Amino acid sequence: MATLAPRAFAFCHTFGLTVWIALAEGSGWSLIGPGLLLLLWPAVAYLHAAGAQNSKRAEFKNLYLDSLLFGVWCGVLDFYVLATVTIGLACLMNNMVVGGLRRMTISMALFAGGALSWSLVTGFEFRPYVSTGLDIYQGAGAVIYLLALAYVMYGQNRKIGRSIVEIKFQNRVFHALLELGVAANRASNIHTLLDDSLKHLHADFPEYGFAVFLQERQRPEVTRYAAVAGLRLGAEDERRLGGLLATLQERQESTIKLREKTDGEQLYASSMAGRLSLYDGWLVVRAPKLDAPLERMLTLFVDQLAAATENKLLHLALKKTAERDGLTGLYNRGFFESALQLSIQGKNQAPSLDFAVLMMDVDGLKEVNDRYGHVAGDQLITTVAERLQVHCRASDILARYGGDEFVVLFPSADIAAANRLASLIRTHIEGQRCTITTANGERLTLELRLSLGGASSSEASAQEVLSLADERMYDDKSERRKQRAAHG
């Protein structure tokens, strides 16, 4: 119904043309009366399109009826030449714009059919000219109509242009959301997840800068995780911004304007409030202004980031539960055996790639359990675990293998790595004392004693390294017992 105004003008102008001819030739109401009926059609066409289920299809049908009615009316006016030409061209152009050559051809047939039908009923008469004034009136009307129609088309093109821009923006948002999902699945930890997510966002929206801050819920001044992409923030800027966000936790707005940058752009913070179980989070964006598309985009990105972060936190917690020993927090036997299998496979595929294992047994744990209870025994185990961790490197895989047994896997190392750690244990842990508390509240001081056995794939087959280390550990235990008995 966008062309309603130009079409209504066309019918009113045609009615004026009819009145002019009637007055100039003395036809009176024989032309003016039917002309009044012609004026009813725009209103009928509007009601028809407005009430139809498919208003666009109804509008196209009305354009066909326009061609038919104007053809009839040109016959009524005895084919006044300038009017017939301009009105006919207007009808053809209207249908050409919305439906191409096919609709134009049908419109031409309807226009010609209406004109010829009227001529067959009333007889054919030809009025080539009335007056110069009427020619000027008709020409001016045609120009105004064409300009009005062009303005309508301009408005429609602008709408289409805005729609295309919005669709492109939505496609960018959709693509960014997909990439956020991929980054979340690939990330091994929260730092990587946030860094990769913001890099993808900035790649898809280079005109914006992004930062994300996750703060501890109980201590909002403490920023636990942070990531930046496309924003020039130094360590001091991050600290200051994190502190500023900590003061905004009580604000209810979903998106808050922080401050103006020196270049005139703004910083906006969108809250993750209620979306995370352990943290309060903010997505910060640098943008010229906060318009509706940007605000919708921020809401989607905040939801996606929060969901990905929460899922990753849950995944890491479950993974830690599956991989870690419940008492000591070290890797458990299942994780160690999986890591050992990878080292065995690596040795089989690349014979020069060695690995080593150090087995350890806490001497005297059974006596502590029998004498003072398992609470005391657990304290002894955790004490040994803590002291072992101090001397293990980041690449070493320290695990609790059984009740009183620990094991360390040294990937890509030989027996020297196991001997190095064994020497540190003999120097810094063996013979040291620790204090534990029994279930009765009694404090005991115990001496730490560990039996050790190391082996590597350079001295045994990959599948037999663990067995060899275990055998050497029990040999060490037997030898130490003999020495204690000899001194006893």
Query: What sections of 249-349 are H helices per DSSP?
Result: 292-323, 333-349
Q: In this structure, are residues 215 and 242 in contact, taking their beta carbons and an 8 Å threshold?
A: yes
* Region 95-110 average pLDDT: 89
How far is the C-alpha of 102 from the C-alpha of 91, rounded, in Å?
Answer: 13
How far is the C-alpha of 429 from the C-alpha of 425, rounded, in Å?
Answer: 5
Could you report the per-residue pLDDT of 385-421, keeping only the tens digit for each? 999 999 999 889 999 998 899 999 999 899 999 999 9
How far is the C-alpha of 27 from the C-alpha of 19, rounded, in Å?
Answer: 9
Residue-averaged pLDDT of the chain: 85
How far is the C-alpha of 244 from the C-alpha of 251, rounded, in Å?
Answer: 12
How far is the C-alpha of 193 from the C-alpha of 201, rounded, in Å?
Answer: 12
Q: What is the pLDDT of residue 121?
A: 83
* Tokens found for residue 370: 């029998």
Greater model confidence, 341 or 41 = 341
How far is the C-alpha of 218 from the C-alpha of 229, rounded, in Å?
Answer: 27
Instruction: Give the architecture-level CATH label for domain 187-323.
Output: 2-Layer Sandwich (3.30)
Which residue, 332, 446, 433, 437, is CA-closest to 375? 437
Q: What is the pLDDT of residue 152?
A: 82
Confidence of residue 236 (pLDDT cuts 50, 70, 90): low
pLDDT over 80 (residue 147):
yes
How far is the C-alpha of 40 from the C-alpha of 42, rounded, in Å?
Answer: 6
Q: Quickly list DSSP for 331-355.
A: B-HHHHHHHHHHHHHHHHH-TT---
Could you report the per-residue pLDDT of 162-190, keeping only the tens digit for each? 888 788 888 888 888 888 888 888 888 88
* Region 334-358 average pLDDT: 92
Could you report the per-residue pLDDT of 29-74, keeping only the tens digit for each? 777 777 777 777 777 877 877 788 888 888 888 888 888 988 888 8
* Tokens found for residue 239: 């600290």
Q: In this structure, are residues 283 and 272 in contact, taking their beta carbons and an 8 Å threshold?
A: yes
How far is the C-alpha of 431 from the C-alpha of 143, rounded, in Å?
Answer: 107
Lowest mean pLDDT among 69-78, 225-234, 239-248, 273-282: 239-248
Q: What is the pLDDT of residue 454?
A: 96
CATH topology of domain 333-487: Alpha-Beta Plaits (3.30.70)
Which residue, 403, 448, 397, 455, is CA-closest to 425? 448
pLDDT over 70 (residue 246):
no
Q: What is the pLDDT of residue 251?
A: 59
Which strands sit side by side in the sheet containing 266-271, from one edge to the other? 223-229, 209-216, 279-287, 266-271, 255-260
pLDDT above 70 covers a percentage of the chain that reads 93
* Region 324-328 average pLDDT: 91
